[in-house]
Amino acid sequence: MRPHPHIGLSTVTYLFAGEIMHRDSLAYEQAIRPQEVNWMTAGRGITHSERLERARAQGDSIHGIQA
């Protein structure tokens, strides 16, 4: 997913399988892996992206939830 803002929105991501690479415009980068929780609250003027780089490169699948 291309970089996009979430002003005042929080998301919780939990993966059962696969890996998502989370990056933001403040240069933070974090891999979200199975059985890990990622809680993101976006601040004003900050954009972020979620990439499926490993799944695309290795043909893996992604299974998880985001609320």
Residue 61 token pair? 């699948």
- Please state the separation of Cα 37 from the chain's center in Å: 10
Q: What strands lie across the sheet with 63-66, from one edge to the other? A: 37-41, 10-17, 63-66
Residue 3 or residue 23, greater confidence: 23
* Domain edges within the chain: 4-56
- What pLDDT score does 27 carry? 87
Scanning the structure block, which residue is given the tokens 């892996």? 33
Q: What is the pTM of this model?
A: 0.71
- Per-residue pLDDT of 15-44, as tens digits, reads 999 998 888 888 888 899 999 998 887 777
Give the total residue count for the chain: 67
> Around 33, how many Cα atoms within 13 Å sit in the side-chain half-sphere?
2
- Residue 53 confidence class, pLDDT cut points 50, 70, 90: confident
